[in-house]
Structure 1
Amino acid sequence: MNRFHAAAHSPAVTTRIGVALGIAFGICFLTGLLSHLIQHPPGWFGWPSRPVHLYRITQGLHVISGIASIPLLLAKLWTVYPKLFEKPPVRSVAHALERLSILVLSGAAFFELVTGLLNVAQNYPWDFYFPSLHYAVAWIAIGSVVVHVAVKLPIVRGPKEPEKPSPGLSRRGFLRSTWLVTGVAVVATAGATVPLLRNISGLSWRSGKDLPVNRTAAAAGVLDTARDPAWRLEVATAAGTRSFTRAELAALPQTTAELPIACVEGWSHSAVWSGVAFPDLLRAAGAEPGAEVRVLSLERGGLYATSELPGTHTADPLTLLALTLDGEELPPDHGYPCRVIAPNRPGVLQTKWVRRLEVR
């Protein structure tokens, strides 16, 4: 083995890159788990409506840490691959656990990172439902990380080997190269979620000035029904159902707020929305703010044709049934005749083309 290989495959290099990869994976897992809980909340879980940018930050960290994990994972595998072909293949129970954890971790990590990248690009060359399988494999990945760390902890905490000067790339040089490539990957893509980096993130997706559209009105099959003059918003309460025309909604007190849409695909954009605050709308319909509300869309068959607004959001005056976007009538692709814009919520739960609200 030449001196470069000896430096790159040393335990000290493997350990340091492994620690960085573990941190990146941990952040990615925890923020992904949080997003899952927000979208599918169990009874014990609650998510606040303030601060308005919190979900934007957590989902941005999710995608950025995932991007950072790609070069870290490749560097980690480069440092350990000679050990995978050592003989005998299994020397002890701990050695068997280490090899198994590397195999499971590598497979799960590659699956998560590759499918995650294709998801942010909205490219789905598979038949399975991405969120469910991505979530399940994330638990496998983080479990293998825990096992691997437990097995390798004595090495991490043990004495470090002194670096011997040698020509070519040293351990320190290999590590610096890894950190540099990771930093470049993050900066090149982080503009999708970090506004300050949009002008220098050449590889970011959805980073233009206009608010992106994931699903158009035509794709949702609602162009005709959204423009139908007979459209009415139905608000069902315990006292009965009241309907509102769009003109009647516009005649109610209007609230204007700058709020972000933060997508589970990693991009986020802020815009100025105007419409009826949910507390005002609920009072006008004969209900009290703070009640849970089920939101139904004109889109009948989409995965996110309905959503649930918890009481913390329906009581917040920044939760809007939006009628305008950046001072102009809401375009059909952004939800005309009206849509939900709530602070600190995933974009997939900001239901467009609203037709009915069911107050519980």
Structure 2
Amino acid sequence: MRRGPFRAGAFRSPLHEPRTTVVLGRWLGGALLVCFLTGLASHVLQDPPGWLVDHLPPRPADGYRVTQGLHVISGIAAIPLTGAKLWTVYPRLFEWPPARSVLHALERLGIAVLVAALLLELFTGLLNTLQWYPWLFPFRQTHFWLGWLATGGLLVHIAAKAPTIAAHWWRRAVPALAGRRAFLTSVTAAVGVVTLTTAGQTVPWLRRSDLLAPRRPDVGELGLPVNRTAAQAGTVTVPADWQLHVDGPRPYRLTLDELARLPQTEAELPIACVEGWSASARWTGVRIADLLARAGAPAGSAVRVTSLEADGPYRVMEMPAQYADDPLTLLALRVNGQVLTADHGYPARIIAPNRPGVLQTKWVVRIEVI
């Protein structure tokens, strides 16, 4: 009955051994740890629990750019590392007997859950960088919980394999093996190539090598890419009588010309998107704090911002008080010295420090003190 991959000696490569697996596991564990922690940071900034809302920091201004860039870079680097590590251990799938005891069966089941969660997490995350969603489930929530499932499964797996890991952690503790160094060097080169050819969408000094990333952050209208166009958002035209509604103790309205005549502030701020790309630009507009002060808003007021967008999960955005009070948070009218285009949020959009791009609301029509 033991034929094909189930026969004794079916896998002859000496690299299917613990030391190679442990080395790759260290590298993969580091990448997954960075990916998990930065993913938590992204989730908290987009959908913070109530007790944390008032403690989210608006500085450093490019904080989200760094954390989300690291999230996508480490996630992409984890793909070849995962493939290499699974290659070193996949003969164990065909070991005989399949389960030697109840505990052994439970261990194998746990590994199956871990591998499935990890592969689905990396696969959906990679497609998210392409903005391609060929599935029916919500990406962000599924990605979040898969991250917890994969990380929990990984910790349990490390605990179960701790004796083996300890025995093969140090190079001097195991004999040298022909081909091990060449294999690990090849994996390192593969990780380096995919990182160098995709990280340029976040890291400016790697932009020239940005060959495989889905975006060049310096290409697009007004020198910036666009994730969601006006046509996609259902805001192709802006009403001729557009006015900004500011609701507070002393509500008022402003036309675009009246907004342009108010004191203008210029700030260098990045747009950083969940897909991993980011780009800095010079934004010009009116400080949100000044608009709120004119409306008689009490100190420490949060705001609710409403877009002309016809539909979408971020059509209405709430901004905690610490962002609304920050002098870098603007209702922007211009970018890089030019009037906003429709795809960039004309007539007015939000730009704030250390916030995900989905919360930098475009096509603003109302700002409400809450």
**TM class, shorter-chain normalised?**
over 0.9
| Amino acid aligned to 1:216 | T
| Amino acid aligned to 1:141 | A
Deviation at 1:173, TM superposition (A): 1.6
1:60-111 CA-partner distances (Å, limit 9, x unpaired): 0100010011001000110001112111222356533442232112111111
Give yes or no for the alignment of 1:329 onto 2:339: yes
Give yes or no for the alignment of 1:115 onto 2:128: no
TM-score by length of 2: 0.91
1:299-340 CA-partner distances (Å, limit 9, x unpaired): 131111011111111110000000001101111100011000
CA contact (8 A) 1:101 1:145 kept: no
Residue in structure 2 matching 1:51, options 60, 67, 71:
60
Deviation at 1:115, TM superposition (A): 1.0
Deviation at 1:25, TM superposition (A): 1.1
Give yes or no for the alignment of 1:314 onto 2:333: no
1-structure distance, mates of 2:181, 2:159: 25
CA separation of 1:171 and 1:165: change in aligned 2, threshold 3 A: closer
Deviation at 1:145, TM superposition (A): 0.6
Number of the residue aligned with 2:257: 247
Structure 2: gaps of 5 or more residues: 1-8
| Amino acid aligned to 2:49 | P
Give yes or no for the alignment of 1:139 onto 2:148: yes
Bigger drift between 317-326 and 13-22 goes to 13-22
1-structure distance, mates of 2:174, 2:265: 64
Number of the residue aligned with 1:354: 364
Identity rate, percent: 54
Residue in structure 2 matching 1:5, options 4, 13, 22:
13
> Secondary structure of the equivalent of 2:281?
strand
1:104-155 CA-partner distances (Å, limit 9, x unpaired): 1211111111111111111111122111111121111111111111111111
Give yes or no for the alignment of 1:162 onto 2:174: yes
Deviation at 1:241, TM superposition (A): 2.1
Residues matched between the structures, number: 353
2-structure distance, mates of 1:48, 1:98: 42
Number of the residue aligned with 1:23: 30
Q: CA RMSD in A?
A: 1.7
CA contact (8 A) 1:68 1:185 kept: yes
CA separation of 1:300 and 1:208: change in aligned 2, threshold 3 A: closer
CA separation of 1:279 and 1:288: change in aligned 2, threshold 3 A: farther
> Secondary structure of the equivalent of 1:143?
helix
> Secondary structure of the equivalent of 2:304?
strand
Give yes or no for the alignment of 1:41 onto 2:48: yes
Bigger drift between 334-343 and 243-252 goes to 243-252
CA separation of 1:165 and 1:128: change in aligned 2, threshold 3 A: closer
Structure 1: gaps of 5 or more residues: none
Number of the residue aligned with 2:194: 185
1:183-218 CA-partner distances (Å, limit 9, x unpaired): 111111101111110101211221142311111111
CA contact (8 A) 1:234 1:243 kept: yes
Number of the residue aligned with 2:243: 232
Give yes or no for the alignment of 1:216 onto 2:216: no
CA separation of 1:242 and 1:142: change in aligned 2, threshold 3 A: same
Give yes or no for the alignment of 1:343 onto 2:353: yes
